[in-house]
Amino acid sequence: MSPLLTGLLALLAAATPPAPAPAPAVLQAGTVIENIACQADLTQRYALYLPSGYRPDREWPILYALDARGNGKRVAEVFQAGAERFGWIVASSYNSSSDLPTDPNPAALRAMWLDTHARLKIDDRRVYAAGYSGTVRAAIRVATAVPGSIVGIFGAGAGFPFEQPPTKDVPFDFFGTVGTRDFNYYEMLDLEKKLTALSLPFRIDVFSGDHDWPPSDLAARGLGWLELRAMRRGLRPVEPALVEGLWAQDLAQAQQAEAAGHGFEALRTWTALLSSYAGLHDTAEAERKTAELAASPAVQRDLAAREERNERDKAFLAEAPRIFRRAMSGGPDAVPPTASRIAAELRIADWKKRAASSDLEESLSAKRVLNTLSGQTGFYLPTDFIARQEWDNAILMLSVYAEIHPDRPDVWVSIAETSARKGKSGRKRALDALEKAVALGWTDRGAIEREPAFEGLREDRRFLEIVGKMEKNPG
């Protein structure tokens, strides 16, 4: 066992050595194996992909994926095409998660690490980790704490831990992705500036989408970039045909953006070519095009407009927590806060109007702001209040979320659940909200019947009438 592996296992709290593994079973290559239980801990499970050319007489690079919601199969499928093309193993946990009081990701990573090393031939010089949202930060904590254990991070929709910004001695390569409507969009653009200033090896690509894993073609591009970095690091032989193929793919993207008149996107791609292929391919064309676009008055105007819009949005989002605090911190004589008043202070109607604008960038800007406010009022703030049993505050935040998305039945179910937890005093509001959810199209009767919060309403005639309007869904 290498010192790096020993160090990683120590970090991940290997209190006792695992029992000797049985002889590894024959695993099917070229398809996602949906469910593998770890031999040393049967509570830990993961999806596995082996490239179709896998054979046990050589070592292979591996990507350990940590999904924010533990959807191991889905994430393995996101990386499947890239893993097949470049010859990578992918192990994707069902036990990973974000936003929990206790971080489960080190244990998930440790379990996958032990199990895959027992079953497979892995190149310990080429171990990578992929995360989405909060699990990106978890992966970076491990990679930083044990330098050299993880050579590259694939970060979807998030960057470094807030308490641990990048420094010039970051020991891993970073490929990031972010959606155009992602509430972490501004974070990733700021990270791009920081990594550039530190002269660190990185690439951050933007795709059309929300806060999510990227589409599979972009995931494959990320693995290709990490292949280039492995060549630069001397971790694998330089393969001219592979370099040329990746260059051609990036070149086509840059040329298409430029031909479409998207100077900003073209400049980003040409800049990425310049940094990604240095020492591996002739970059004279990339150097020329980068300088040409950077000097273009049209591109400069676009950059200035984007920067101004981004700073405006960030300033507003920095003010939003203060709006919440002001609304909820009044004295005994203060007017009780209402969802409509908070929504007015947050300018929800104005942001919705901008989101419908024919100006694409203005529309995307407003959608990012609304997605950020949705994340706070629909998940983070109510989750925190519920944990403290501050039911009214949780209901208030969910009601603000309903001001943003009034036609979503799930938010009304959440309001009903939280109201029901109050007991008798929340009964009427719970039933009103549940009835609203049904009117908006909620049909999942099974979910309502399984929800413990509704236990006190099971015999209520109105509750039974409302549930009777839903479809039976035992899933």
pLDDT digits (tens, 9 = 90+) for 97-149: 998 888 999 999 999 999 999 999 999 999 999 999 999 999 999 999 989 99
pLDDT digits (tens, 9 = 90+) for 190-203: 999 999 999 999 99
**Residue 10: band (very low, low, confident or very high) from pLDDT cuts 50, 70, 90:** low
Examine the pLDDT at 40 and tell me if it is beyond 50. yes
Q: Give CA–CA dist 175/246, Å, rounded.
A: 15
The answer to whether 403 touches 415, Cβ cutoff 8 Å, is no
Q: Give CA–CA dist 176/307, Å, rounded.
A: 20
Examine the pLDDT at 84 and tell me if it is beyond 70. yes
Measured N-to-C along each axis, helices 240-259 and 216-233 cross at an angle, to the nearest 10 degrees, of: 130
What mean pLDDT value characterizes the chain? 92
Examine the pLDDT at 233 and tell me if it is beyond 60. yes
pLDDT of res. 331: 55
pLDDT of res. 471: 74
pLDDT of res. 378: 95
Tokens 């199969």 identify what position? 73
Examine the pLDDT at 1 and tell me if it is beyond 50. no
Span 236-252, average pLDDT: 97
pLDDT of res. 26: 74
pLDDT of res. 38: 96
pLDDT of res. 353: 96
- Which residues are CB-contacts of 186 (< 8 A; sequence separation ≥ 6)? 310, 313, 314, 317, 368
Closest by CA to 146, choosing from 184, 120, 113, is: 113
The answer to whether 417 touches 451, Cβ cutoff 8 Å, is yes
Q: Give CA–CA dist 344/243, Å, rounded.
A: 53
Helix (H/G/I), strand (E/B), else coil: 61: strand
Tokens 């010039």 identify what position? 168
Q: pTM of the full predicted structure?
A: 0.90
**The residue type at 155:** G
The answer to whether 309 touches 361, Cβ cutoff 8 Å, is yes
The answer to whether 356 touches 363, Cβ cutoff 8 Å, is yes
Span 157-174, average pLDDT: 95
**The residue type at 7:** G
Q: Give CA–CA dist 208/390, Å, rounded.
A: 37
pLDDT digits (tens, 9 = 90+) for 201-210: 999 999 999 9
Helix and strand numbers (H, E) in the chain are: 19, 8
Tokens 């403290």 identify what position? 388
pLDDT of res. 2: 46
Lowest mean per-residue pLDDT among 39-43, 48-52, 59-63: 39-43
- State what percent of residues in the chain have pLDDT above 90: 88
pLDDT of res. 337: 86
Q: Which domains does the chain have, with CATH numbers?
A: 3-237 (3.40.50.1820), 300-468 (1.25.40)
Span 368-382, average pLDDT: 95
The answer to whether 115 touches 89, Cβ cutoff 8 Å, is no
pLDDT of res. 472: 57
Give how far Cα 471 sits from Cα of 432, 438, 443, Å.
Answer: 19, 10, 5
Q: Give CA–CA dist 326/255, Å, rounded.
A: 50
**Residue 334: band (very low, low, confident or very high) from pLDDT cuts 50, 70, 90:** low
Examine the pLDDT at 253 and tell me if it is beyond 90. yes
